[in-house]
Amino acid sequence: MTVDEAAKQHKLPDGNRELAYRCFDAYSELGDMKAKYFKAYYIQQKYFEVDDMDANEKDQLIANLFKEVADSGDEYPEAQLRYGNCLIKGIGVKKNLKEAAIYFTKAAENGQVVGMFNAASLYFSGGAGKKDPKLGEKYMKLAAYKQHAQAIEYCRKNNIQL
């Protein structure tokens, strides 16, 4: 089974997730970035239990895989978003809002709507290192234009013209 076939299994309501995970695991060992993303995702979502690791080791593996995929280029904005979430929540890595903002911004620049909203939130709050209302507004508007409900509500409440 190829990685793409395993990804198709993942999308099927009655897909064989165990077989898909085993495929992702094998291809991730060969360096396939898509497989690494799905391996981390499957472990994070508990679609497949990794028995020989404790919770901290699993979290570290998840964060490391998402980071590796996120850093491999702009093809995987979901990985950029998910690694940003690891950073903002301290899952498998030390909590780091400034670095989370970098990954959310990368995800946003690659069209990831939740990344747009998360980046905007950190720029507005100063979690990105310092407050930057101009960048906050830019990403909040982008998220709102893509119909992100929280972004639309934020713009409405804060008189940000759409």
- Separation between Cα atoms, residue 62 and residue 68, nearest integer Å: 10
Going by pLDDT thresholds of 50, 70 and 90, the confidence category of residue 51 is confident
Share of the chain above pLDDT 90, in %: 90
DSSP 79-103: HHHHHHHHHHHTSSS---HHHHHHH
The pTM (predicted TM-score) of the whole model is 0.92
Q: Where are the beta strands (DSSP E) in 28-133?
A: none
- What is the pLDDT at residue 98? 95
User: Is there a domain that residue 11 lies in?
Assistant: yes
* Helix, strand, or coil (residue 111): coil
Q: What is the mean pLDDT of the chain?
A: 95
What are the tokens at 13? 């309501």
- Does the structure show a pLDDT above 90 at 48? no
User: Is there a domain that residue 146 lies in?
Assistant: no
- Separation between Cα atoms, residue 39 and residue 66, nearest integer Å: 9
Instruction: Find the mean pLDDT for residues 19-37.
Output: 96
Q: Which domain holds residue 46?
A: 1-52
Q: How many domains does the chain have?
A: 1
Going by pLDDT thresholds of 50, 70 and 90, the confidence category of residue 49 is confident
- Separation between Cα atoms, residue 148 and residue 108, nearest integer Å: 13
Q: What is the largest CA-CA distance in the chain?
A: 52
User: Is there a domain that residue 39 lies in?
Assistant: yes
User: Is there a domain that residue 110 lies in?
Assistant: no
Instruction: Find the mean pLDDT for residues 143-157.
Output: 96
User: Is there a domain that residue 99 lies in?
Assistant: no
- What is the pLDDT at residue 127? 84
